[in-house]
Amino acid sequence: MSVVAYTNARLIDPASGLDCIGALVTEDGKITELGPEVCKDGAPEGAEIIDCGGRILCPGLIDMRVFVGEPGAEHKETLASASQAAAAGGVTCIIVQPNTEPVIDDVALVEYIKRQARDKASVRIHPMAAITRGLEGQQMAELGLMAEADAVAFTDADRVIADAQVMRRVLSYASAFNLLICHYPEEPSLAGRGVMNSGEIAMRLGLPGIPTQAETIMVERDLRLVEMTGGRYHAACLSTAQAIEAMARGKARGLPVSAAAAVHNFAMNEVAVGEYRSFAKTAPPLRSEADRQAVVDGLADGTIDVICSCHDPQDVESKRLPFELAATGIIGLETMLPLALELYHNGALSLLDLLAKMTSRPAELLGLRGGKLAPGAPADLLIFDPNTPWRIDEDGFHSKSKNTPYHGRPVQGRVWRTIVAGKMVYSDT
């Protein structure tokens, strides 16, 4: 029996609204008690005592959108290296995307990821499985069987299901089994060969642009299909004011819909592309300052439910190319918390609301047991100081890839301890 008492902590639990100074006790990987009166008369006999020094203790973060190279591109990232990066970032659960080689589009691959994660990873890893076979957007995969094998949701990753009839069938099937369909909203014929946000900067650089309407049109289409079918729908990444407005209208109509925003779409705008900086080539692309502010407002008013890292590791050879040829994506597991905390420090969101978007809300959407501080819940915990200043340094990353546009950026908020199932998996000492 392993008992640990975390004392002198600021306990924050977005699921219940708890925010108090107190203690939390874990036993054999689960939370047993917590609150302001816990350990007032001393810790349980034989317990290991960890003094949190007034730091925040909250549920470990859950990242709903993580791309990992394994299987097929282990030189970019493995399940083991991704889990180390997650632990360093305070993320206790990552949801991996199915665009691997081979694609996670059948039961055997779902079980393979679960098995590999169990053997290699220090944090919890759950697979999202493909909506369509081979991510080709044509033939629906065996969603029901993969759900029984514990795929937590379904997505075609960064691919779009352009055929409305296919998407209608998917949502109809999903509604019958209460499955969550996560879709990357971008009308492919309108996005074309665009590599950054369409606008003045793209024109000046001579780069093909992706118009904001590509996102809006696809969100509007998907909302109409949800209206037809009743399927649970999650917009994987919203980045434009018009698409966020459309999502707000869908929610106002009572549709079973939710949305996420990638950190880069509120932490930066298209100016970061600078003079063809391929490390700022992202999906969705970095947008205008007005769209960036709309993402912040959407997070603040609840239109956007979830913050995700969109962690997408790319090797140096893939990134150090002319902008049009460079791979899309940035890593984000280790920078999600400090960059998200900028919203708190700037007064855009309260700490409770901000943490809810990375803990309790993704847990609710995915049906996970974590994401909360409560007796009987998994002891998946994050202890951090929201005010510690530091500079992001790519050389210190645990990820195999270093493709970040944030190198040298000053931030506030640092992870002190990360705990998974009662076991410490990261310590900043």
Residue 384 Cα distances to 53, 88, 137, 420, angstroms: 10, 11, 42, 15
At residue 42, the pLDDT reads 86
Rounded to whole angstroms, how far apart are CA atoms 104 and 100? 7
The rounded radius of gyration (Å) of the Cα atoms in the chain is: 21
Average pLDDT over residues 116-136: 97
Percent of the chain with pLDDT over 90: 97
Say if 111 falls within a structural domain: yes
Cβ–Cβ < 8 Å for 11, 19: yes
Rounded to whole angstroms, how far apart are CA atoms 165 and 174? 14
User: Token digits for 401?
Assistant: 């890839």
At 329, give phi and psi (nearest 5°): 125, 150
Cβ-proximal residues to 7 (8 Å cutoff; 6+ apart), any chain: 23, 39, 43, 49, 50, 51, 52
Say if 254 falls within a structural domain: yes
Say if 407 falls within a structural domain: no
Domain count, the chain: 1
pLDDT digits (tens, 9 = 90+) for 387-425: 999 999 999 999 999 999 999 999 999 999 999 999 999
Say if 200 falls within a structural domain: yes
pLDDT digits (tens, 9 = 90+) for 336-372: 999 999 999 999 999 999 999 999 999 999 999 999 9
At residue 1, the pLDDT reads 56
Rounded to whole angstroms, how far apart are CA atoms 92 and 86? 7
Percent of the chain with pLDDT over 70: 100
Residue located via tokens 């289409």: 221
pLDDT range class, residue 43, cuts 50, 70, 90? confident
At residue 20, the pLDDT reads 97
Angle among Cα 228, 299, 399 to the nearest 5 degrees reads: 100
Cβ–Cβ < 8 Å for 130, 101: no
User: Token digits for 94?
Assistant: 């990552």
Say if 35 falls within a structural domain: no
Say if 91 falls within a structural domain: yes
pLDDT digits (tens, 9 = 90+) for 218-270: 999 999 999 999 999 999 999 999 999 999 999 999 999 999 999 999 999 99
Rounded to whole angstroms, how far apart are CA atoms 369 and 409? 35
pLDDT digits (tens, 9 = 90+) for 274-293: 999 999 999 999 999 999 99
Provide the mean pLDDT of the chain.
97
Given a cut of 90, whether residue 2 has pLDDT beyond it is no
Q: How remote is the C-alpha of 329 from its chain's centroid?
A: 14
Average pLDDT over residues 123-151: 97
Average pLDDT over residues 169-179: 97
Name the least confident of 46-50, 149-153, 247-251, 322-326: 46-50
Hey, what amino acid is at 86?
A
pLDDT digits (tens, 9 = 90+) for 293-342: 999 999 999 999 999 999 999 999 999 999 999 999 999 999 999 999 99
Range of the domain at 290: 60-366
Cβ-proximal residues to 273 (8 Å cutoff; 6+ apart), any chain: 196, 201, 205, 280, 281, 286, 323
CATH of residue 262's domain is 3.20.20.140
Exposed, middle or buried, 254 (CB in 10 Å: 0-12/13-18/19+)?
Answer: exposed
Residue 270 Cα distances to 158, 204, 205, 301, angstroms: 20, 12, 12, 24
| CA diameter of the chain | 68
At 191, give phi and psi (nearest 5°): -65, -35
At residue 232, the pLDDT reads 98
Exposed, middle or buried, 297 (CB in 10 Å: 0-12/13-18/19+)?
Answer: middle
Say if 127 falls within a structural domain: yes
At residue 5, the pLDDT reads 96
At residue 429, the pLDDT reads 79
Say if 371 falls within a structural domain: no
pLDDT range class, residue 46, cuts 50, 70, 90? confident
